[in-house]
Amino acid sequence: MTSVTAASGRPAEPEVIWTRPHRSGRGPRPAHSRESIAAEAVRIADADGIDAVSMRRVAAGVGAGTMSLYNYVPRKEDLYELMVDAVSGEYDLSAAPTGDWRADMLALARQTRDLMRRHPWLPRLLTPVHGFSPNALRYLEHCLECLAPLDAPDGDKLELVAAVNGTVATFVGSEQALAERARALPWSEAAEQRVRAAYLGSRLATGAYPRLAAALAGAGAAIPAHDDVFDRVVLRLLGGWG
């Protein structure tokens, strides 16, 4: 039997939330579920950020007392794990792998990008600890099925999945930072880009940066769409394998 602290009744030793009964203690049928608790926590995080998620606020959202919520979720860390698992269930893993592992992993990376856009707080909670919840295990199993044609050790394949997810998180983080900055500008983003382009042109015209000038000239004037850049970044990462 797992020992508990005298003060709170919560576990005093390491424990995995998935091995616990859905509600501790005896009594009538539970009034709440992990699914409803996780959904409320996700709703709060989506609206106000992960720092706004508290046991008190989640309890109020589901109509429970704060202390009674601990009967379902002993620690805030467990609540985070439930949240990650809940949104991991949004992956569509219904399609069988095509046999083209790079194409399949790119398709999964696109799903991960969409997932992180819907839930901007998610990258902060992506840790190896939270990576082994039921829905995360389904995702990892599917990834390994997609990577079956890749001639590499299974450990390397798991590293590749982690590298892809890390790349996606970095890309989405940059997108979010740019969007947040654009919202805070007192002028249009297009107006700022024109001013910055003019400044950059004046610097390049000095001849002090010949390689940069040549690279930018070769890239063309048009700014590539973020979706195109995303695909190229992921494919270049995948191109280093196999």
pLDDT tens, position by position, 119-134: 999 998 887 666 689 9
Is the model's pLDDT at 2 over the cut of 70? Answer: no
Average pLDDT over residues 135-161: 96
- CA–chain centroid gap for 126, Å, is 6
Q: What is the pLDDT of residues 47-62, one digit of tens each?
A: 999 999 999 999 999 9
The model scores a pTM over 0.85: no
HSE toward the beta carbon, residue 157, CA cutoff 13 A:
18
HSE toward the beta carbon, residue 191, CA cutoff 13 A:
5
